[in-house]
Chains A and B, each alone.
Chain A
Amino acid sequence: MKKLTLLMAFLHAFAFTMLSQEVQVKGRVTSAEGGSALPGASVVVKGTNTATVTDPEGNYSIRVPAGATTLVVSFIGMKTQEVEIAGQTTINIAMQPEVIGMEEVVVTALGIKRSEKALGYSAVTVKGDEISQTRTSNIMNSLQGKVAGVAISASSGAPGASTKVVIRGFSSITGNNQPLYIVDGIPVNNTTNTLYAGNNDVSRTQDFGNRANDINPDDIESVTILKGAAAALYGSRAANGVVMITTKQGAKSDRFKVEYNGSASFSEPLRLPQMQNWFGQGWSGTFKYEENGSWGPKFDGKLRLWGNVVDNSQQLKPFVPLKNNLRDFFDVGKGYNNTISISGGKDNALFYLSFGNVREDGIVPTDADSYIRNSILLKGSYQGKKLTANASINYINKDQKFVTQGQGTGDAGATLYQDIMQIPRDISIVDLKDYKNKFNNIDNYFTPYADNPWFIINENGNKWNEDRVVSSINLDYNITSWLNATYRVGADVANSQLQDWGAIAKTTPGSINNLRGRNDIVGRVNERTSVDYQFNNDFILNGNFNISSFKINALIGYNANEQYYRELYSYVTDLDIPGFYNLSNSSKPAKSSTFERKKRLYGIYSQGEVSYKDYVFLTLSARNDWSSTLPKNNNSFFYPGASLSILFSEIFSDIKPILPYGKLRLSHTVTGNDPQPYRIKSVYSPASVYAYFGTMTFPIAGVNGFEIDNTIGNLKLQPEISTEDEVGVELKFLDNRIGIDAAYYLRKTTDQIMTVPLARSSGYGFQVMNVGSIQNQGTELLLTLVPVRAENFEWQIGVNHTINRSKVLELSEQLKEGVYINSAYDIDFLAKEGKPIGVFEGPDYSRDPQGRIIVNEQGIPIAATKKVEYGTSEPKYRMGIKNEFFLLKGITIGGNVEIRQGGLMYTYTADINYFVGNATQTTFNDRQPFLVPNSVKAVTDVNGNVTYVENTTPIDMEHICDYYNNNTNRPLARATVVDKSFVKLRDLYVYFELPKKWITKLSLSRVNVGVVGRNLLLWTPKENNFVDPESTTWGGDLESEFGEFAVAPSVRTVSISLKITY
C-alpha cells in the first residue's frame, strides 16, 4: 500500500508540469562515409521527451526548450552522437558507423548493467520493439527461431496455450529444464498449468498456459537471455539459463508520453491431419452405417442411405469424399491485443503506467477456446542524492477457456480432437451441428463409438480464472562513491480457479445407441482453486575500485527465497440435473483433496570482476545455497564460476582496420539444482487402487484406507550439479556489415535427481535418487549481414544455427534398460545410457533366422518380444533466417524462417487416423489384398521344432483394418512415431512509419502501421501429414518432447497493427 501512495504522489507531481520558452533548431543528418542523407534518424533533446525524426532528405527541425543543452542523434547502424546546442539554430550532424556490440550495455544477472564487451559468456538481448511487433500475446513466442541455442515452441494453436523454452538442450531427465524468468530483477513464477484428468497423462488434458506468458509484450523494454554460465549467481534455479525481462520505464520529459499499441488478428488452422479421399464409411471393407471409420467401400458417388433409421426415416447423401470436411468445421479465430501506456518523468522521479487487454477467440466454433487477459503495470522511480528507489506492481487477470485435448473419460465425456477424427470421410461434420436433431443426438448419432463433436464443444467446457500480482521494491544506496548497497524484495502471488465440467450424455433405454452398448456419460464437475506464491529477498553490496590500469568491481550478496503452492480440488460425478454444474449436483458425495508444497532456500553469493585496460575482463563468482528440500544435515551446496573476455582487436591494434571488433570469451561455471520438496522421507498415501481401467478409491463402505506410497524416500539425496564450459568468439568486419558470433559449449550434469522406477518386486515403484550424468554439447552460430546499405535502402540478414547433442553418459546399474520419460500405448520414450536424452522404443517385427517377417494365421506381422529403438527426439540442427529491408520513408519489410531438421515425435493423431482408416497411408495398394513382403509363417512339428514357410495369406480387405491397427499389428506402432523436421515461415511483416509531417499536426510523435503474418507456412516430411511437429499435450518440459495426444491444431495468424506515440 505504501508503494501505491508513493506512486500516486509521483503522478500528482507531474500534473504540475511547467511550460517554458522554446527555440527552434534545424539541420541535416548525414552519413560520415559518403555524406548520404539519413532519413528516419532520431533527434532527441537530452533529458526531455522532445524528439523528432529526419525526413527523407535527412532534414530535421525541433523545438528545444530553454535550458536544454544537448541533442542526441541516433540511427540504426550508426554511433549515437551527442551534440552541444550552445546557442546554434542550425546543426548538421555527420554520423559515424557504429561498431555494433562495442558499447552495448547488457543487463546481466542480478540486474547488473555491464558493457557487452566485458562479458565472458553468451548473452543475447532482444529489444522490446522487436518483441512487440510480432503482435503475439506472449513474449517468448515472438522470439521463436531468433536466438541461437534457444528452442521455443508453442504447445498448440489454442488461445493462451503454453510455450516451451529450452536453452542449450535438456540436461535434467526428470527435473526442471525451463529457464528461470526474472522480471526487473525479481524471479517470477513460470508454472505451466497443464492439467491432466487421469494418472496416465493422456486423459482430458488442458493447457492454461505457462505464467511467463502473462507479461504484456508491449510493456517490454528488452529481454536478455543468459544461456549458461552467467546465470550462476541466481543459484540453483538458474541451472537452465535465465530469461531476464526489463520492463519499460518513463523518461524525463516536459510532458507525458502516451503510447498506444494495438492489433487485430485473424487465425485459421495451420495444420490439420491430411485424410484420404478414396474410401468411405464402413469397417472390414463393407459399408456399415454405425461405424466410426473409413474402412468401407470405394467412393462411387451414388446416393446412399446413411446413419440410423429414426422414426422410420433415414438420411440420404451421395457416397463422395468431403475433402475439406475437417477444415470446414473450424472458424476464423479472432484476437485483439491493445495496450495503452502513459509515462514520463521530471526532476528525480519517473513513472510508467500501462493497461493491456488481450481478447482471443480461437478457431473452434463457439468461445470454448478463448483467452482474455487484462494487465496493469505501474512503475515508479525516485532518485535522491544517495538513495534511488524503484517500485513496480503488475496486476494480471486471465480468463481462459480451453477445449480439452487427449482421451475422453467415462465420467466427463469425450474430447473434441479425438472424436472429430473418427468421422468417416463422407459424413459432413458441419451438418452434424444441430446436435439435438433426432439424427445427431446421443441416441441416434451415427456411431456409438464416438460422440458428436458439436455436443462436446457446446455441452462440455471449462473456465480458468487467475489473478496475479507481481510486485517489487528496489532500494539502492550509494554509501560512498565506490560502494553501494541494494535491497530488493519481490513478491509474485497468483490465485487461480478452475471450473471444468462434462455433461451428462446418456442414451435412452431401448434407443439405437443404447442397444449398441454406447457407454453412458454420467457427468462430472471439477473445481480447483490454488494459490501459488514466491517471495524473494536480495541484499547486495557492490564496490568499484581502480588500481592503476585495473578496474575492480566486487559484490557480495544474500538471497532468501520461499515458494509455496496450495490447491484444493473437489469433484462430483453422476450429475443429477443436466446443465447445472455445481458440486451440489450429485447424490454421490464430492471427492476433495488438498495439496501443499513449500520450499525455502537461502544463499550467499559473491562476484568479482577485474578488468585490465578495458580489453581483458575476468569475472569470478561463487555461491553457496542451503535448501529446505535436501536432507537436514547435508543441505548446503557450493558452486563457483569464472569467465574471461579478451578484446583481441584492441590488444593487437594492427588488425583493427581489417577486424574492428574481435572478442574471445571463455567461461567455466557450476550450477546446482535442488530436488523437489518431500523426497527424503517415506510416506503413506490415501489408497487409490489400480483396477485396469478403473480405480478403486477410498473410503469404501465407510472404511478409509491408506497405502504405502509407491515412492520410497531417500535420506542421501544431493543436489544435481551442472558444469558448463564455453568458448566463444565475436568478430565484426567491413564496417560492421558482417558480424559473426560463434560459441561452443560443453555441459555436464551429474548426480541427476531422478525418480527411478524400481522393480516392483522390491516393494516400491519409485525412488528419487542421484544417478547418472548427462552431457550436452553444442555450437551456436550467429551471422549478421548487411548486403546492401544504400541511401534510402538497407537489407539486413541474420542467420542463426544451433546444434545440440545430448548424451546420457551414465545411469545406475538398474537403469541399464533406460529411464521412462513418457509413454503412450506401445511407444516408450526413454533416457538410455550412451544415447541422446530422449529415445523412442517400440515394437518391431518378429523375424525368422533369415530376417523374414513372421506373420500370424491372418497374415498379419507378429511383434518381436523385445522392443527396438526407433531414434531420438533430438533434432540434428535448428536454424533461423531473418531478412529485413528498410526502405524509403520508414517502410520495413521482413520475415523469419525457422528450420528444424531431424528428431522424432509420437503422434496420437496419426494413431487414430490409422485406426479409423482416414490416414492417406491406409490406401496403400488401393486396399487390394496384399502379402506382407518377405513374410513367413512359423510351423511347429510334433517334436516342437519350428520351421518357417513362405506366407501365402494375403491381407484382404476384411483384415486391412487389423493390419493398420497397432493393437493387432503391433509393429505398425512405428508409423505413429514420425520425423518432426519442419520449415516454418514464422513471420512476415510490413511496417510503415508514417512521415513526421503527416502526424505532427495531430501532435503525435510517431505512428506506425503494420501487417504481420505468423506461422504462415509449414513444411514437414511426407510421413508427417498429421500434426504440427511442435505440438504437445505434455506441458513444457522433457516429457513434452515425446509428442502429442489429440492436440489442438496449430494456427496461422495475420494481424494488423497500429502504434501511436503521443
Chain B
Amino acid sequence: MKTYAKYILIFIAGIIFTSCSENWLDVNTDPNKPSDVTPELVLPAAEISLVSQITVRYNIAGGMWAQFWTQNPTSNQYKQFDAYDINATTLDAEWMELYSGTLKELQQIKKVSKENQEWRMYLIAAALQAYTFQYLADLYDKIPYTEALKADEGIIAPKYDDASVVYDSIIQDLDFALSKDLSKFTSPVNGDFIFNGNAQMWVKFANTLKLRIYLRQWKVRSAVAQAGIQKLFNENAAFLTEDAKIDVFQDEKGKGNPLYESDRRELNTKQNIRASQTFISFLTSANDTDERIGYYFEKGTSGQYLGNPQGDFNKNITADEANKISLARILATDPAYLFSAAESYFLQAEAKLRLNYSIAEVKDLYDQGVLAAFARFGLNGSRYIQTGGKYEFNNAEPLKSIITQKWAALAGINGMEAYIEHLRTGIPKRSSVPVTDGSYIPGEFTHPIQSVLPVGQYPRRLIFPDSERKSNKNTPAEVKVTVPTWWQ
C-alpha cells in the first residue's frame, strides 16, 4: 500500500510538473497580428481600399456604361458589364470591401479620433466615409447606415435605410466634423496619401462633396438641395481647386495604380478594355481632335485612334484585327482620383446655374472646369473654349455643356460617376440610331450591340449583393436593374 501511495504522489507531482503554473494555458494571444493600432496606420489602408474600388471595377463598369470603353472582341473579362448583364453578384466584392474594409476602418478612425479630440483626423475619416456612403446609396438606393458597421456591438444584420436618410446623415456628419476646431491638433497626420494631412484641403473636399450630394437630389428634393447649396455659397465655402487623388504609385506588384494592378498586371490579357466608338467619335468630332485622346487611349496597330461600336464584342475577328482598335491607356504610375479639380468646377457651375446666378459666372466656372480637365494632362485647353471652339460654352443649353464636359473629364478615372450623372441628367443623350448611322450625333450613347436588355433599357441601379442577401435577413426584396433610384 505504501508503494501505491507513493505512485499516486508521483502522479500528482507529474500533473503539477507538466502544468507548472496557471499560465501554462495562457498562450492564446495572437503573435501574428496586433490587437491595437493607431489611426495613422489605419488611414492609409482605408484610402487605398477606397480608391481600389472606385477606380477599378466601378470605373470599368461605369466606363463601359458611360461609353468611354467597350469590351475587346477577342477576350472576355468585362462582357457582362458591356452587355448590361447585371445580377446580384455584379460588383458584390466591391460592396464587401467598401463595408468591411474602407467604411469600417474609417469608422474606427472616427471613433478613436473623437475620443482623443483629434478633429483633423476625424474630418478626414468623416469626409471619406461620406464620399463612400453616397456612392453606395446612389447605386443601391437603400443601404445599411444607421445600424451598419456595428458587429462589435452585436448588430450582425443591420437594417437598410432609405438613401435620403443616408444623405441627410452624411451631411450632418460632415457638418459636425467641419464645426470642430481643426487647428487644435497634437500630432501630424501621417499616411494621408491624398492631402498629406492638410486640414484646409480636407475642408474643401468636404464642401465639394456636400455640393455633389445636394446637386444629386435636385430633382427630388430641390428645396433641400437649394437651401444646402445656398448655405455653402453664403458662407463662402471653399471648394476644391486641386485634384483629390492618390499619386504615390510605383511600377511594382501590389504598389501600382490599382486599375493597372488588376487589369494589366494580374489579368492574363491586357487587352480587355478597348475604346468605345461613342467616345472616340466625340473626341474626334467637328474635325478637331481633342488632344486628350492620346492620354485616354493608345493608338491601334494601324496607327489610328479607333473605337469599336459599344458592346460589339461578339464579332468574329482575329486578334490582329482587334489590335487595330485603341486600347485604354492605363499606366502603373497613374494617380487614382476621388475628385478632380475639373469636377469641382463643373459642380460649382451647375450649382450656380441651378441657383440662377448670372450666366457669365456659370460660364466662367465651366471654362475653368474644361481648362482643369486639360491641365490634368499638362495640356492647355483654352483653344477649345474659345468662341467657335469645339467646347465653347453653349448659353442655350448650359447644363448640356457642363455635364458633357464633366463626362469627358471623368473618362478613365471615375466612370461610375459619369454614368450616375448621365442617369440624373440624361446627358449625354441616348441615340436612337447606331453609331454607324449617318445621322448619328457624336458622343451620344448607343444601345450596346450585345445587350441582354432590350433597346431603350439600361441599368439604373445595382442589385442588392448576393453576399448580403445570404447573411443579412434585412436585405430588401430584389429590385430590377432597370428601376430608377430615388434621385433619378
**Chain A residues at the B interface, C-beta cutoff of 8 Å:** 283-286, 288, 290, 408-411, 448-449, 477, 479-480, 483, 485, 487, 515-519, 522, 537, 539, 541, 556, 558, 560, 573-574, 588, 594-596, 598-602, 604, 626-629, 632, 635, 677-678, 680-685, 687, 689-698, 700-701, 703-710, 712, 756-765, 767, 813-818, 856-858, 862-863, 865, 938-940, 958-959, 962, 965, 967-968
Shortest C-beta distance, B106 to chain A (Å), equals 10
B255 near A697: Cβ-Cβ < 8 Å: yes
A600 near B156: Cβ-Cβ < 8 Å: no
Residue B107 interfacial (CB < 8 Å): yes
B48 near A705: Cβ-Cβ < 8 Å: yes
Chain A CB within 10 Å — which of B14, B32, B42, B103 has the most? Answer: B32
Residue B104 interfacial (CB < 8 Å): yes
B34 near A760: Cβ-Cβ < 8 Å: no
B27 near A759: Cβ-Cβ < 8 Å: no
A600 near B48: Cβ-Cβ < 8 Å: no
A708 near B108: Cβ-Cβ < 8 Å: yes
Q: A286-B316, A539-B14 are in contact. Are A967 and B4 (CB under 8 A)?
A: no
A690 near B97: Cβ-Cβ < 8 Å: yes
A-B CB proximity, top 3 nearest:
A694-B261, A759-B472, A687-B45
Q: A480-B3, A761-B158, A856-B452 are in contact. Are A709 and B151 (CB under 8 A)?
A: no
**Chain B residues at the A interface, C-beta cutoff of 8 Å:** 3-4, 7-8, 10-11, 14-15, 18-19, 24-37, 41-46, 48-49, 52-53, 56-57, 76, 79-80, 87-88, 93, 95-97, 99-101, 103-105, 107-108, 143-144, 148-152, 155-158, 190-191, 193, 248-250, 252-255, 258-263, 265-271, 301, 314, 316, 318-320, 323, 450-452, 454, 457, 463, 467-473, 475, 478
Q: A479-B3, A863-B87 are in contact. Are A485 and B48 (CB under 8 A)?
A: no
A814 neighbours in B (Cβ, 8 Å): 156-157, 471-473
A763 near B451: Cβ-Cβ < 8 Å: no
Contact of A541 among B11, B319, B452 (CB under 8 A): B11
B262 neighbours in A (Cβ, 8 Å): 691-694
CB closest chain-B residue, reference A757: B471
Contact of A708 among B96, B105, B158 (CB under 8 A): B105
Q: How far is the CA of A483 from the CA of B4 in the complex (A)?
A: 8
Q: A707-B49, A764-B100, A958-B316 are in contact. Are A683 and B248 (CB under 8 A)?
A: no
Can you offer 16 A-B residue contacts whose CB atoms are under 8 A?
A290-B318, A408-B268, A449-B268, A517-B269, A574-B253, A598-B27, A689-B49, A696-B52, A696-B255, A700-B193, A703-B193, A704-B44, A709-B33, A758-B471, A760-B96, A865-B478
Q: How far is the CA of A765 from the CA of B470 in the complex (A)?
A: 12
Given contacts A539-B15, A682-B35, A687-B45, 16 further A-B contacts (CB under 8 A): A286-B316, A448-B319, A449-B268, A594-B32, A595-B32, A604-B15, A678-B30, A689-B52, A691-B53, A701-B193, A709-B33, A758-B151, A760-B467, A761-B144, A763-B151, A856-B452
Chain B CB within 10 Å — which of A285, A709, A968 has the most? Answer: A968
Q: A690-B93, A708-B105, A938-B454 are in contact. Are A517 and B151 (CB under 8 A)?
A: no
A700 near B255: Cβ-Cβ < 8 Å: yes
CB closest chain-A residue, reference B12: A558
CB closest chain-B residue, reference A818: B470
Q: How far is the CA of A516 from the CA of B365 in the complex (A)?
A: 44
A558 near B158: Cβ-Cβ < 8 Å: no
A626 near B25: Cβ-Cβ < 8 Å: yes
Q: How far is the CA of A424 from the CA of B261 in the complex (A)?
A: 31
B36 near A684: Cβ-Cβ < 8 Å: yes
A703 near B44: Cβ-Cβ < 8 Å: yes
CB closest chain-B residue, reference A487: B14
A687 neighbours in B (Cβ, 8 Å): 44-45, 48-49
B30 near A683: Cβ-Cβ < 8 Å: yes
B467 neighbours in A (Cβ, 8 Å): 757, 759-760
B253 neighbours in A (Cβ, 8 Å): 411, 522, 573-574, 588, 697
A600 near B52: Cβ-Cβ < 8 Å: no
A700 near B48: Cβ-Cβ < 8 Å: yes
A707 neighbours in B (Cβ, 8 Å): 42, 45-46, 49, 101, 105
Q: How far is the CA of A702 from the CA of B61 in the complex (A)?
A: 31
Q: How far is the CA of A284 from the CA of B316 in the complex (A)?
A: 7
Q: A628-B26, A696-B258 are in contact. Are A685 and B454 (CB under 8 A)?
A: no
Q: How far is the CA of A591 from the CA of B88 in the complex (A)?
A: 36
B4 neighbours in A (Cβ, 8 Å): 479-480, 483
CB closest chain-A residue, reference B252: A588
A449 near B269: Cβ-Cβ < 8 Å: yes
Shortest C-beta distance, A237 to chain B (Å), equals 16
A763 near B18: Cβ-Cβ < 8 Å: no
Q: How far is the CA of A599 from the CA of B34 in the complex (A)?
A: 19
Shortest C-beta distance, A657 to chain B (Å), equals 47
B29 neighbours in A (Cβ, 8 Å): 678, 681
A696 neighbours in B (Cβ, 8 Å): 48-49, 52, 254-255, 258, 261
Q: How far is the CA of A691 from the CA of B53 in the complex (A)?
A: 6
CB closest chain-A residue, reference B261: A694
